[in-house]
Amino acid sequence: MRKEQHHKGWNEIKTNDSWALFKIMGEFVNGFEKMSAIGPCVSIFGSARTKENMEYYEMAVSIAKSISEAGYGIITGGGPGIMEAGNRGAHLAGGTSVGLNIDLPFEQHDNPYIDGDKSLDFDYFFVRKVMFVKYSQGFVVMPGGFGTLDELFEAITLIQTNKIEKFPIILVGSRFWAGLIDWVKDIMLKEGNISPEDLDLIKMADTEGEVVDILDSFYKGRSLSPNF
């Protein structure tokens, strides 16, 4: 009897998983339709816990404003902290301000600087991550936590393995990122786990001018289009 109950429960899980595919497909379709109409954008990542009076919040506002003035839209995860700062900078410049929101038990709520018609809601992290990678012409990575590192290393991995076209990945704040880059060079590279040219996938910047220069120099003579 207990074995039959176990099998019944497992079958119910499989049925629920099958129905979940329709919700996943719906998120992909809605995301693709909305994002494909927006135009070239740069994604800004960083901690949701960064407060308005902190250095990196103010820097993210300035960077997003400069990127917007250079003709790119801004995409963020739609929440507070660095995400809010990114959307705020785009808003101040009168540029395109996109928020890809995720339903989380803490930290996440829509920030007020997202364009009303460019706020997308996701239940699935992996669907949301596809939108960032597919529709970004560059990643600007501010100081953050595990989520920020997740986005950073996924993008590097996809470019390294030729699953997507190369685009600029810019780490902002050399004081914050230097230890990580040193570890990558001194441990990963020396152990032979990456190739020397893999380090070329990452650029470092400390000002909004440096960020815009990296983006502009990369796209000089190149077309702007989705990455896969």
Pairing type for strands 119-122 and 73-76 reads unpaired
- Return the number of other C-beta atoms located less than 10 Å from residue 80's C-beta: 20
- pTM beyond cutoff 0.85: yes
When pLDDT is averaged across residues 176-187 and rounded to a whole number, the result is 97
Pairing type for strands 202-205 and 97-102 reads unpaired
Q: Could you tell me the pLDDT band of residue 18, with boundaries at 50, 70 and 90?
A: confident
**DSSP letter string, 177-193:** HHHHHHHIIIIIITTTS
Number of residues assigned to the chain? 228
Q: Could you tell me the pLDDT band of residue 14, with boundaries at 50, 70 and 90?
A: low
Model confidence pLDDT, tens digit, residues 100-131 = 999 776 655 789 999 999 999 999 999 999 99
Counting other chains too, the contacts that 187-196 makes at CB distance below 8 Å and 24 or more residues apart are 194/160
Model confidence pLDDT, tens digit, residues 50-78 = 999 999 999 999 999 999 999 999 999 99
Model confidence pLDDT, tens digit, residues 135-155 = 999 999 999 999 999 999 999
Does residue 7 surpass a pLDDT of 80? no
Delineate the domains of the chain, giving CATH numbers in brackets. Answer: 2-219 (3.40.50.450)
Among the ranges given (96-105, 166-175, 187-196, 211-220), the one the predictor scored with the smallest mean pLDDT: 96-105
Angstrom distance (rounded) from CA 40 to CA 164? 16
Does residue 5 surpass a pLDDT of 70? no
C-beta of residue 125 within 8 angstroms of C-beta of residue 28: no
Amino acid at residue number 137: Q
Q: Mapping DSSP to helix (H, G, I), strand (E, B) and coil, where does residue 161 land?
A: coil
Q: Where are the beta strands (DSSP E) in the chain?
A: 41-45, 73-76, 97-102, 119-122, 136-141, 169-172, 202-205
**pLDDT more than 90, % of the chain:** 84
Q: Locate tokens 């706020």: which residue?
A: 119
